[in-house]
Every structure is written in C-alpha cells, then in structure tokens.
Chains A and B, each alone.
Chain A
Amino acid sequence: MTAVLALFQMLIFPGFVFLIVLGLAGQFVDRKLYARLQNRVGPPWFQPVADFFKLLGKETVVPEEADSRMFRMAPVFALGAVIASSFYIPLWSAQPLFSFEGDLIVVLYLLLIPTLMYFLGGWYSRSVYSTLGAVRSITQLFAYEIPLLIAVISPALLANTWSISGMVRYYSAHPGRWLFNIVGFAVAIITLLGKLERVPFDIPEAETEIVAGTFTEYSGRFLAFFRLAIDTEAIVAASLVVAVFLPFGFGLAPWLAFIVYLAKILAILAVLALLRTVFARLRLDQMIDFCWKVVAPVAFLQVLADLVLKELT
C-alpha cells in the first residue's frame, strides 16, 4: 500500500502532474504580469496549455546534422531532473517525499542538469545559433551557479544541517531567524534569473543575436517538453528558494499551509516578472563581471554573517 501511495505522490500529487499544472499556471502568471506591466493585455489563462498542445501536434524536425539520440533525449532528461529534484524539497509540509542528510546538495545538483541539457541539446543540434547559445548557457552557468550555491548554503550553516527539511524544521523552531538570510535571499533571486535564463540574463537565447539560441533547431513535441521543463524548473527553483529563505507557515493546517505555499511561489514569480520588465539584457561579459564582482562577494558576506551568528547563539 505504501508503494502505491509513494507512486501516487511521485506521479500525481505533489509530484509530476501537480508540478506540471503549477508550471503552466506559473507561465501564465509570468506572461500576464509581464504583459500588464508593459501596458499590454496579455494571454488568457489557458494560453500555456494551448501552446503546449499546439506544439505537441506540430511536425517535429530533427536536423540531419544533429545527433538524433542526444537531440531527442535532452528535453526528457531536463524535465526528469527537475521533477526528481522536487521530491526532496518540502513544499508545504516540513516533510518532503524523500529526505536525507545532504539532500540540499542533491537538489542543487539535479537543478543543474536542465542547464546541462540545454547545453547538450544545443551542442548536438549542430547549427551555429544553437552552438553559440549552448556555449553561452554553459558560460553563464559558471557565473551564477557558485553565488547561488553559496547563498543557499549559508542558511544551512546556521541551521547546522545539510537537509532542506532539517533547515525548515530549524527555522520553524526559531521563528524570525530567517530574516538574517535576507541578503542571501536577494542573491538567490538574482541568480535564479540566470538559472531560468530570463532578462537580464537571457543571454543564451538572445533573440536579436542568435535567434532562439539552444532551442533554434527544436520544434514540435521536443520543444514542447523543453518549454515544459523550463516552466517546471521555475516552480521547483522557486520552491527551493521558498523552503530555504522563507521557511514559515509549514506548521499550519495542511490546507492553510498549501495556500501559504502558493502565495509564496506567486510572490517569487511576481518578483521575477517585475525584474524581467525593468531591465535590458546584459552582455555575457557584463553578466559574468556582475555575478563574480558583485553577487558572489555579497553571497560570501551572507556566509560570514551566518557563521558569526552561529558562534553567538
């Protein structure tokens, strides 16, 4: 019976199906907010779903030059890794599907796979635009991943645990302490823009330079699954940030905790959409400069602050 329950949890709720629904809803929220902030009307609520099914029905072209197997595998692997990482993140109850000491690192590792898949998918497309987009996305990875890692680790240092659920329990037991990590939260939001390849860090898919970057050669259902992976990644990454930096409301009644969780995710998506609206795309060298010279030192400050605080308490 437990096996059936676990399977249900993994595939339906709060696993695969739930995350995909949330991902598509998240895409709608992002697009609608972006449009409203730009004085446009924006899409109707079902647009992401309609887009997804439209792409499924479209002809799928695999370039002759491309490595067919890698080309087909990349979107599926990206989606799989994102879903897998969600199993270790406490969404609204402090206890995720699975957890062990060190799952924080596993989640970060799994969330790195989609980016690697963008790289591989683009690289094996063999077109110049895709290759350039692929190289850009892997270059960008080295700029944002380290600050993100440092930012996420610092609350863990304070909580003295390497498991996300352990962190949630620690911060629930010491309410108010999450406020110390507010700088790390800001760093995480900024690096999230890079991870999700959004303006100002949408350099790998800069439309006016390299068409669609990695995704230039993708079409039909492979593109649909890539887009789905990106949408789901936004939700899962936001869930991670919420669990690590906004660890409150986990002890409430399940339905109330669920609403609090949705509100938090919505807030993160809104912030991401807002940032997307007010910035221009940076150049790759400027982005790397910014991440290493500004964001990374700030993230280190957060680590320092948490270490000092840990000594004091």
Chain B
Amino acid sequence: MSEVEHIVQIPVGPQHPMLKEPESFMIDLRGEKIDAVRMRFGYNHRGIEKGCEQRTYTQDLYLVERVCGICSYSHSTAFVQAVEEIAGLEIPPRARYIRTLVAELERIHSHLLWLGVAGHEIGFDTLLMYTWRDREQVMILLAELTGNRVNYGLNTLGGVRRDITAEQMPSILKVVNALEERTKYYIEVAQTEETLRQRLAGVGKLSKEDAARLGAVGPTARASGVDRDTRRDDPYAAYADVSFKVITDQHCDVFGRTLVRVGELMESYSIIRQLLKKIPEGPILVKAPRKIPEGEAVSRYEAPRGEDVHYVRGNGTDKPERVKVRAPTLANTQAVAKMLEDGYLADLPIVIAAIDPCFSCTDRMIGIKNPGKGERRTMSWEEVSRYGVDFYKRKGIDPSRINLRGGSAA
C-alpha cells in the first residue's frame, strides 16, 4: 500500500454501547489498526466542587459521595479525612476499622464489577453474568451494614454513623468466604481460558517507565510493575494495623491488570478477616465542631481504581473555601492514549475498560473546542457564568439581577 492510505474516522462516544458514561473518543483507523485517538472529556461535568463551596461540611459529605456511583465511599472518606485533619479531629479506633471494612467491601464490589465489564467488552457475556451475580452478595451485605447499596452515607465528621453489631459479623464472614471461593474460580478461568487469554495478553501494553512517567495509578500502574499503593505507603484509617500484600504484575498488559485485580480481591478478603478479628470496642464517633478552622489539607486514598486525592481549604466558617477532587481515572487517561498506540480497533473497548474508567469522577472542567480551528481553551467559572447570563439575555430573560454568591454573575 502506498503512503496515502484510507483513514477511516470512527466516533466512539459520546453515545456508544461500549461506554457506560458519555465521553468521546475519535479514532483514526487504518484498516483494523488504530492510527490516532483523540479523547474529549467533559460531558459529565456537574460542578460538584463549586457546589461544595456553597454547602456546609456535613452537606458536602453527601454531595462528594455522589461524585461517583461505584467508588462513592472512596470520595466520601477522602473528603472527610481532609476535613478532620484541618479540624484536628482524632476519630475513635472502632470508626477507623469500620471505615476500612466498608472501603474493602467497596473494593470487592468494584473489582467484581470490573471483571464483568471486561468480559462484556471482549464479547464474553457469560463472565459478566457470573461476576455480577456474585457481586450481588456483597451489594446486599453493604445494604445490610449501611442501609444502601451505593452511596452508603456512612461517614460523618468525627467518625461513622452506624456501628457494626456482633450479629452482623458472621454474615460478613459468610459472604467473604463464599466470594473467596468464586474468586479462586475466576483466577483459574483467567489463567486457563484460551480465548480470554488471547484477547487480554499483549493488549494495551504500558511499560513500567511509561506508567511511572504518565502518572498511572492503582491497578493500572501496579500491573506495569509500579509498586505503589497508598494503603501501604501512606496508611490511613486502619490499614496500618493489618498486613496485606501489594499485588504487582510484570505483564504490563490487560491480562496483568486482570490478574492484579483478582489478586487484590483475595487480599481484600484477608484484610476483612483481620479487621473483624481485631476490631476494638468503643465509641464510633467524636463530636465535631460545626465551624472548621482555617487551614488546608490534602487527603490521599487508595480507591479501587487508584489513588484518589482530595484537597480541602477551610476558612473558619461552616463551609469550605475550596474543594478539589483528583479522581484516579484522570490520572490514568494519559496512559490510555499510550496503550492504544498501534492497537486494533477490536482491542479499544477492553483497553479503555482496563483502567476501569469512571468518567463522571473525572469531569472537572469545561473545555471549549473550536472544531473549525481545532483550538482548545478552558472557560473559567466567571466566563461560564457570563456565558449563561448572556445566553438568557439573548432570549429576553435577564438573570443578572439575581444575586449570586460572590456577585460574579454580573
């Protein structure tokens, strides 16, 4: 073939069966091979960070929890940890243990969910049906412990809102034991199923150097041999009291990422058993002040998808001055472009899915792209606000008289 080859442009997203959330991937295709990928994020921007500034800390807890539907507890805990650091609160040990327990249960449900999604992306729906059926057990357990399947609403400033009763412990162990059996089976399937191995091995290569350079986090980084886990490196909650292995893998591909996740499932079961053995008696809550003093804090948290970072700045009132969320998917998106280089179109879904993307967590800013010129710039909050005002003014409605906080609307 000559240099002038036909390049087909395929839009994957914003609406596409592969994606569970709207994001846009524009793919230049040379036959079945990917020539270039252009990603465009921002379809899910909800202004949560700004919203946090207009609510009290307690209200923010519930808002931040809704950053993501899957790792809701990660965001809520990361946020509450930052606030507690500013306020200088020392939460009771039992609350730390309960937080760790729910965090690990969340990791289990998230990783099982991922395994199913990965199966679906490579046309292996049976795996999807099996893992999601098993995941239901941990979902029911979470509902039993916290009252909700997702968005548990368990955290509060200074501790947790619900205690774990002695009767609940055996049912946790029962679910953990059952899921451990199932996970062993999935490990066996992942290692022996031929079509599965063919579709996963060697796909979406990301070398250790690239993973470190592009700032990959979580299982994506660990599958490339980057030994990094916030739970061990910067222990929070009760992670300092339990022993666990940080699972790494040298495959550097989607297969490695699968092995890391199923390996982490096994570690989670062991962590939960240790927690249940060691959990101390005592209160679950200390009284938190309504007004948080001036100060700022960064909280790191190992979410199922990788390191989640929350930054909070308090100004002495009951509302935060600034909240900033850095979700793990944002850290991993850079790596995706690298992984897709020279890949096949058929591998695109599984490569993107392999970072376990959660775009609603990621969308934090509004990027304006001028399709004609291909230029890109970011709108500031004032610009967005002014744009909105102008938009309605053109329609004959004048919202500029409405007094918004900070008066930036005019």
Q: What residues make up the interface of A, taking CB atoms closer than 8 Å to B?
A: 37-40, 128-129, 131-132, 199-200, 202-203, 206-211, 277-286
Contact = CB atoms under 8 A, between A and B. Distances in A.
Nearest to A201: B123
Given A132-B29, A283-B199, 12 more contacts: A38-B129, A128-B11, A199-B124, A203-B346, A206-B123, A207-B123, A211-B17, A279-B195, A280-B124, A280-B196, A281-B346, A282-B195
A283 B344 contact: yes
Nearest to B200: A280
A286 B198 contact: yes
Contact of B347 (A132, A200, A283): A283
B126 A202 contact: no
A312 to B, nearest CB: 36
B121 interface: yes
Given A38-B125, A207-B17, A200 B346 contact: no
Given A129-B10, A132-B10, A208 B349 contact: yes
Contacts of A277: 126
Nearest to B346: A283
Contacts, number: 82
Max chain B Cβ within 10 angstroms of own Cβ: one of A202, A206, A211: A206
B8 A132 contact: yes
15 contacts: A38-B129, A38-B130, A39-B129, A39-B133, A128-B10, A206-B123, A206-B346, A207-B123, A208-B17, A208-B123, A208-B349, A209-B345, A280-B119, A282-B195, A283-B199
Contacts of B36: none
A38 B126 contact: yes
B32 to A, nearest CB: 6
Contacts of A128: 8-11
B195 A208 contact: no
Contacts of B123: 199-200, 202, 206-208, 280-281
Interface in B83-124: 119-124
Interface string B21-36: 0000000010010000
B276 interface: no
B348 interface: yes
B167 interface: no
B298 interface: no
Interface residues of B, number: 32
B199 to A, nearest CB: 5
For the complex of A and B, list the 9 residue pairs with the smallest distance between their C-beta atoms, beginning with the closest. Answer: A281-B123, A280-B124, A38-B129, A208-B349, A280-B195, A208-B18, A283-B346, A279-B195, A280-B122
Interface in B1-51: 8-11, 16-18, 29, 32
Contacts of A282: 195, 198-199
B195 A39 contact: no
A200 B195 CA distance: 8
A283 B29 CA distance: 15
Contacts of A129: 10
B124 A281 contact: yes
A280 B193 contact: yes
Nearest to B32: A284
B126 A285 contact: no
Nearest to A282: B195
Contacts of B193: 280
B265 to A, nearest CB: 20
Interface in B329-347: 344-347
Contacts of A203: 346
B148 to A, nearest CB: 26
A279 B121 CA distance: 13
A283 B195 CA distance: 10
A195 to B, nearest CB: 17
A281 B125 CA distance: 10
A209 B346 contact: yes
Interface in B243-302: none
A134 to B, nearest CB: 12
B388 to A, nearest CB: 34
A301 B120 CA distance: 36
A285 B31 CA distance: 11
A153 B12 CA distance: 43
B26 to A, nearest CB: 11
Contacts of B124: 199, 279-281
A280 B18 CA distance: 16
Contact of A208 (B10, B120, B129, B133): B120
Interface string B348-383: 110000000000000000000000000000000000
A39 B132 CA distance: 11
A142 to B, nearest CB: 15
Contacts of A278: 126
A279 B193 CA distance: 8
A211 B349 CA distance: 12
Contacts of B9: 128
A202 B125 CA distance: 12
A211 B16 contact: yes
Nearest to B119: A280
Interface in B144-167: none
Contact of B126 (A37, A206, A208, A211): A37
A119 to B, nearest CB: 16
Contacts of B348: 209
Contacts of A210: 10, 345
A215 to B, nearest CB: 13
A286 B120 CA distance: 18
A282 B126 CA distance: 15
Max chain A Cβ within 10 angstroms of own Cβ: one of B123, B125, B133: B123
Max chain B Cβ within 10 angstroms of own Cβ: one of A277, A280, A285: A280
Contacts of B199: 280-283, 286
A209 B344 CA distance: 10
A259 B111 CA distance: 48
A208 B126 CA distance: 15
Contacts of B18: 207-209
A227 B401 CA distance: 59
Nearest to A205: B123
B344 A39 contact: no
A284 B348 CA distance: 13
Contacts of A202: 123
A208 B124 CA distance: 11
Nearest to B344: A283
Nearest to B347: A283
Contact of A40 (B16, B129, B198): B129
Contacts of A200: 123, 195
B346 A284 contact: yes
A292 B158 CA distance: 65
